[in-house]
A and B are shown apart, each in its own frame.
Chain A
Amino acid sequence: MLAPPKDRLHGTLDALILKTLSGGPRHGYAITRWLRDTSADAIQVEEGSLYPALYRMERHGWIEAEWGTSELGRKARFYRLTPRGRKQLAAETERFAQFVAAVSPILLPA
């Protein structure tokens, strides 16, 4: 069964953030940079959505936050993936793959 669109959107943002963090701890700004760079400017995460998502995922225990020092020597809040977050990422990726597999033959007939 496919999830309703709103959830799918949420889940997708969560999955993107979790994916970003799977490469190592990053602060919020670095997450947006990485997503933008990796998607060749295609994905611009809005800050207004990013932070609530981060705090929400922290609450779920998918990520942990810790204050550290940024590359420029400033204090910054770094997020790190937890084992539970890793599982969540795997699950989201799987769901997304199913979604694509289900939708592709219709929208993109060969």
Chain B
Amino acid sequence: MPAIRGFGRQLKSLIWRDSIADQVDAELDFHIEMLAGELGARGMAPDAARAEALRRFGNLSALNAACRHIARGTERAARRTEYLAELRQDAVHALRQLRRAPGFTAAAVLTLVLAIGANTAIFSVVSAVLLRPLPYPAADRLTVLWAASGDQNQMLVSIPDAREWRARNRTFDDMGIVRNQSINLSGIERPDRLMGSFVDANALRLLGARVSLGRLFAPEETAEGTGRRVAIISDALWKGRFGGAAGILGRTLVLNGLPHVVIGVTAPDYQDPFGSTEVWVPISSAPNQSWFTRDNASVWLVGLLRPGVIREQAQRDLASIARDLGTEYPTTNAGVGVTVLSLQDYLVGTVRPGLLMVLGFVTLVLLIACANIANLQLARATSRRREMSLRAALGAGQGRLVRQLLTESLVLSALGGGLGIVAARWAVPALVAAVPGGLPAFGRIGLDGPVLLFSAAVTIASGLLFGAMPAIYAARADLNDSLQSRTSDGRPGGSGLRHAFVTLQLVLCIVLLVGAGLLTRSLATLLRENPGFDPHDLLTAEFRLPAAKYRSDAQITRFMADALDRIRAVPGVRSAALVNSVPLSGNWATTTYQLDGQPPAPAGELPTAQWNAVTDGYFETMRMPLLRGRAFTSADREGALPVAIVNQELARRVWPARSPLGQRLRIVGAPEVWVTVVGVVGNAKQFTMTEPVAPQVYQPKAQAPGIFSSVVARTDGDPMALAGPLREAIWSLDRDQPVWKIRSLESLLERDVAPPRFTTKLAGSFAALALVLAVVGVYGVMSYAVGQRTREIGIRMALGARGAEVVRMVVMRGLRVIGIATVLGLAVSSLAARLIRSLLYGVSATDLPTFAIVPAVLAVVAALACYVPARKAARVDPVAALRSE
């Protein structure tokens, strides 16, 4: 029986392959039989002997299970040890193999350094800007609230409305009032403008503001009526301007002409989400009492959503309150809606599409790089078939071979990834510094934990991506075929796979080229756009008169007129004017208007226009064309006939068939006034170069006085050279008056187009890198194919084919791949282009020139990449080629 049982056990082990269970069974069986044998030898009957042996073992099945359990653990540990040993062995082997092919290794590692480095660098920005939580308590519930009217959705809110929103809503825990505006600091040696923020106590509390010295505002200190003249300054201002002086608390600063007592210094790491604020003052210290009336929108709000409330619910809630207010106060609130934005969206919403696009670009570049390396690996795999076959013949299983080759790929990607991360470490600061206008990131942008984790994942994924297919292919290398000779059939194996990789590369490359092409065309359109004025040799500056010092309109107008005279007298100034909002400066205003002879409509239903107040000489200084009528003169002063000048667009919309001259408009606002149109000027860009043409209306500054003004001056030569004299001209009138933002209009224009220029450059560079990689890929595959087909080409030439025919044959084969890739690439591009539509200006996502030029460029470059190896093929010596077999 033992023999049969043994056989049965062997059979079972063949079927179940549970060698541990079998071994334990066999071992215990053996012991039992030996014991039974011993007892038998002492005279026990065989059956009784066996029973006694079993009895001594006690609970046999429990013992058996316990032994198996321990043995399994032992085996697992052994397997792990063996695996690690193999891994080490594979890694060492891989390094040796890579050293043996320095050209391949260098090309692959360089490609990976570029691709993984770019991905790491871009992701570090994405992670810091888009993924990192904002440094505010309950940041995911913080929102920013605006009024909305017509196509304007981020308009200021009046303080009485803000109070109603806060009192009536059912979706917010609380709301706070904010208005960031510059504040004049005077009473010191050199008057200056500080970045200011007018807030109520709630706003600072909701934003989690912290002080390192003193305290925050108490509610009664910021309320209208009970407000006190107190201020909190930033850590930077304290340490910078005040040298970190210990006695800062209790010190009095003259802000906007009024004394304020410093009661706190913010913590060094507290950052105002709405700007780099240097001084906070209570909203009750507003520069103008009109801030508190319902007909003056003057603030925005921060709102903390109730837990569980989503933005849309809050939007609906406030919208219904806004509608009620429209009914209750029709003259001011009719048609005025509300916008609820998450703080995150408010801060990064504008950069998100561009950032995600660039991230998409580098991802595709990485895929192209992987396809490239996969093809290089395939080519190597074919030449390494003998090595593989030998190893297989020596007993290495297919899985073992795949693992060894994959390890090789992973070692390669680890080399590239490691160096890529080093490269990114160096590149990230340069990248961040190059971003125009800076990035809205809180905290450092750099290689932190999440970024390194991402890079490690990308590195491993790349290794698997470019390693898997070639490894499987190589390990499958046919034993019989390769041990005898190298492949000698005309079409070496793996050519289908190689063509697939090249096609993939070309398709992705086309997508990137189309993307970069669209962005370039968009940028070109933008740069060709006429701003409506001549930005060269124009100097601008801003100032705001303290309301406490210039109490009457007459005083303000007097100062403005005197200032203008002094500025015009500065040597080098050819002409100058004052204006409320300089184009592209970030300042702008809108108004609603009513036409003469039309019944008065509720505020929300009136047409809107961009509004500006300018002195005489403005249109001349800006070189804006006067199309009809006259420009403003110094005679358009207070008390004279209220006049206005409209732009071409407003004239076209309102009086398409009539002359606008002599028509009357009611400019809505306080004080409301009927103005007579005396001239028509050309359209001008106001907020940004990409804004659509809008109706614009200008009033003489003397008939719409205000404490804020900008200067524009046309200069002889470099405008910035006159920055000092311009400031001195104003200081010669009032030594305490700060003047700021002294800039050239060209710099404003440049600033406006810098972000798209930067994104386009970045996208263009990555597309160029993709093109180089793709061309190298095509070249590599074609050279390889030619090399493999030397014999076939030799035969053809021996049979009389001429060099030119061989060239054509090879190029045609390459063109077929290129043709297929182009068709696929354009199809994918037309889908992908939709994703970047929001980034395009004046160019459609299906821009025909782009979709025509890109494949043409690619075809020419790729055909060249085929031509070079084809020429080499044509020079094949038929005799040598045939003899080489």
Interface residues of A (CB under 8 A from B): 27-29, 46-48, 51-52, 55-56, 58-59, 67, 70, 74-77
Q: A46-B58, A47-B63, A48-B58 are in contact. Are A77 and B70 (CB under 8 A)?
A: no
Q: How far is the CA of A56 from the CA of B2 in the complex (A)?
A: 29
- A55 touching B31, Cβ below 8 Å: no
A-B contact pairs, 22 of them (CB 8 A): A28-B27, A28-B30, A29-B30, A29-B31, A29-B34, A46-B58, A47-B28, A47-B56, A47-B63, A48-B59, A48-B63, A51-B27, A55-B67, A55-B74, A59-B73, A67-B23, A74-B2, A74-B30, A75-B30, A77-B23, A77-B27, A77-B30
- Measured CB to CB, the closest approach of chain B to A36, in angstroms, equals 11
Q: Kindly report which residue of chain B lies nearest to residue A77, judged by CB atoms.
A: B27
Residues of B within 8 A of A74 (CB): 2, 30, 33
- B57 touching A56, Cβ below 8 Å: no
- A70 touching B56, Cβ below 8 Å: no
State the interface size on chain B (CB cutoff 8 A).
23
Q: How far is the CA of A15 from the CA of B645 in the complex (A)?
A: 108
Residues of A within 8 A of B6 (CB): 75
- B77 touching A59, Cβ below 8 Å: yes
Q: A46-B58, A47-B63, A48-B57 are in contact. Are A59 and B35 (CB under 8 A)?
A: no
- Measured CB to CB, the closest approach of chain B to A20, in angstroms, equals 15
Interface flag for B815 (CB, 8 Å)? no
Q: With contacts A46-B58, A59-B70 known, what are 16 further pairs, Cβ within 8 A? A: A27-B27, A29-B31, A29-B35, A47-B58, A47-B63, A48-B57, A51-B67, A55-B70, A55-B71, A58-B74, A59-B77, A70-B30, A74-B33, A75-B26, A77-B23, A77-B27
Interface flag for B66 (CB, 8 Å)? yes
Number of A-B contacts defined by CB within 8 Å:
59
Q: A48-B63, A59-B77 are in contact. Are A76 and B70 (CB under 8 A)?
A: no
Q: How far is the CA of A70 from the CA of B31 in the complex (A)?
A: 11
- Measured CB to CB, the closest approach of chain A to B30, in angstroms, equals 5
Residues of A within 8 A of B71 (CB): 55, 58
Residues of A within 8 A of B34 (CB): 29, 70
- B30 touching A51, Cβ below 8 Å: no
Q: How far is the CA of A28 from the CA of B33 in the complex (A)?
A: 12
Q: How far is the CA of A28 from the CA of B77 in the complex (A)?
A: 23
- Measured CB to CB, the closest approach of chain B to A80, in angstroms, equals 15
Q: Kindly report which residue of chain B lies nearest to residue A31, judged by CB atoms.
A: B31
- Measured CB to CB, the closest approach of chain A to B673, in angstroms, equals 96
Q: How far is the CA of A59 from the CA of B78 in the complex (A)?
A: 9
- B30 touching A52, Cβ below 8 Å: no
Q: How far is the CA of A48 from the CA of B66 in the complex (A)?
A: 10
Residues of A within 8 A of B77 (CB): 59
Q: How far is the CA of A55 from the CA of B72 in the complex (A)?
A: 10
Residues of B within 8 A of A51 (CB): 27-28, 63, 66-67
- B74 touching A52, Cβ below 8 Å: no
Name A's interface SS: helix
Q: How far is the CA of A46 from the CA of B63 in the complex (A)?
A: 11
Q: A58-B74, A59-B70, A59-B74 are in contact. Are A77 and B26 (CB under 8 A)?
A: yes
Q: How far is the CA of A47 from the CA of B56 in the complex (A)?
A: 7
- B57 touching A52, Cβ below 8 Å: no
Minimum-distance CB pairs A-B, first 8: A55-B70, A29-B34, A59-B74, A77-B27, A48-B58, A29-B31, A47-B57, A55-B67
- Measured CB to CB, the closest approach of chain B to A9, in angstroms, equals 17
Q: Kindly report which residue of chain A lies nearest to residue B2, judged by CB atoms.
A: A74
Q: How far is the CA of A59 from the CA of B69 in the complex (A)?
A: 11
Residues of A within 8 A of B74 (CB): 55, 58-59
- A52 touching B23, Cβ below 8 Å: no
Q: How far is the CA of A95 from the CA of B745 in the complex (A)?
A: 91
Q: How far is the CA of A46 from the CA of B55 in the complex (A)?
A: 11
Q: How far is the CA of A47 from the CA of B67 in the complex (A)?
A: 12
Chain B contacts with A in 50-65, Cβ cutoff 8 A: 56-59, 63
Chain B contacts with A in 127-156, Cβ cutoff 8 A: none
Q: How far is the CA of A77 from the CA of B29 in the complex (A)?
A: 11
- Measured CB to CB, the closest approach of chain A to B65, in angstroms, equals 10
Q: How far is the CA of A75 from the CA of B25 in the complex (A)?
A: 12
- Measured CB to CB, the closest approach of chain B to A53, in angstroms, equals 10
- A52 touching B26, Cβ below 8 Å: no
Residues of A within 8 A of B73 (CB): 59
- A52 touching B66, Cβ below 8 Å: yes
Q: Kindly report which residue of chain A lies nearest to residue B69, judged by CB atoms.
A: A55
Q: Kindly report which residue of chain B lies nearest to residue A29, judged by CB atoms.
A: B34
Q: How far is the CA of A47 from the CA of B66 in the complex (A)?
A: 13
Q: Kindly report which residue of chain A lies nearest to residue B77, judged by CB atoms.
A: A59
Q: A29-B34, A47-B57 are in contact. Are A56 and B70 (CB under 8 A)?
A: yes
Q: How far is the CA of A2 from the CA of B77 in the complex (A)?
A: 31
Per-residue interface assignment for chain B, residues 491 to 515, with 1 indicating a CB less than 8 Å from any chain A CB and 0 otherwise:
0000000000000000000000000
Residues of A within 8 A of B33 (CB): 74
Residues of A within 8 A of B2 (CB): 74
Q: How far is the CA of A52 from the CA of B63 in the complex (A)?
A: 8
Q: Kindly report which residue of chain B lies nearest to residue A50, judged by CB atoms.
A: B31
Residues of A within 8 A of B67 (CB): 51-52, 55
- B59 touching A28, Cβ below 8 Å: no
Q: How far is the CA of A77 from the CA of B34 in the complex (A)?
A: 13
Q: A59-B77, A75-B26, A77-B23 are in contact. Are A47 and B70 (CB under 8 A)?
A: no
- Measured CB to CB, the closest approach of chain A to B37, in angstroms, equals 8
Residues of B within 8 A of A52 (CB): 63, 66-67, 70
Q: How far is the CA of A55 from the CA of B28 in the complex (A)?
A: 12
Q: How far is the CA of A110 from the CA of B59 in the complex (A)?
A: 44
- Measured CB to CB, the closest approach of chain A to B40, in angstroms, equals 13
Q: How far is the CA of A58 from the CA of B33 in the complex (A)?
A: 23
Chain B contacts with A in 10-33, Cβ cutoff 8 A: 23, 26-28, 30-31, 33
Residues of B within 8 A of A47 (CB): 28, 31, 56-58, 63
Listed residue (B2, B70, B71) with the most chain A CB atoms within 10 angstroms of its CB: B70
Residues of A within 8 A of B66 (CB): 51-52, 55
Residues of B within 8 A of A76 (CB): 27, 30
Residues of A within 8 A of B70 (CB): 52, 55-56, 58-59
Q: How far is the CA of A10 from the CA of B678 in the complex (A)?
A: 110
- Measured CB to CB, the closest approach of chain B to A76, in angstroms, equals 5
Q: How far is the CA of A67 from the CA of B23 in the complex (A)?
A: 9
Residues of A within 8 A of B26 (CB): 75, 77
Listed residue (A46, A51, A56) with the most chain B CB atoms within 10 angstroms of its CB: A51
Residues of B within 8 A of A27 (CB): 27, 30-31
- Measured CB to CB, the closest approach of chain B to A52, in angstroms, equals 5
Q: How far is the CA of A27 from the CA of B31 in the complex (A)?
A: 9
Listed residue (A28, A46, A47, A75) with the most chain B CB atoms within 10 angstroms of its CB: A47
Q: How far is the CA of A51 from the CA of B34 in the complex (A)?
A: 15
Residues of B within 8 A of A28 (CB): 27, 30-31
Q: How far is the CA of A46 from the CA of B35 in the complex (A)?
A: 12
Q: How far is the CA of A66 from the CA of B26 in the complex (A)?
A: 13
Residues of B within 8 A of A46 (CB): 56, 58
Q: How far is the CA of A72 from the CA of B825 in the complex (A)?
A: 76
Q: Kindly report which residue of chain A lies nearest to residue B34, judged by CB atoms.
A: A29
Residues of A within 8 A of B27 (CB): 27-28, 51, 76-77
Q: How far is the CA of A42 from the CA of B69 in the complex (A)?
A: 31
Residues of B within 8 A of A55 (CB): 66-67, 70-71, 74
- Measured CB to CB, the closest approach of chain A to B39, in angstroms, equals 12
- Measured CB to CB, the closest approach of chain B to A84, in angstroms, equals 14
- Measured CB to CB, the closest approach of chain A to B441, in angstroms, equals 53
- Measured CB to CB, the closest approach of chain A to B834, in angstroms, equals 61
Q: Kindly report which residue of chain A lies nearest to residue B71, judged by CB atoms.
A: A55
Q: How far is the CA of A27 from the CA of B26 in the complex (A)?
A: 12
Chain B contacts with A in 217-266, Cβ cutoff 8 A: none
Q: Kindly report which residue of chain A lies nearest to residue B63, judged by CB atoms.
A: A48
Residues of A within 8 A of B35 (CB): 29
Q: Kindly report which residue of chain B lies nearest to residue A51, judged by CB atoms.
A: B67
Listed residue (B2, B34, B35, B77) with the most chain A CB atoms within 10 angstroms of its CB: B34
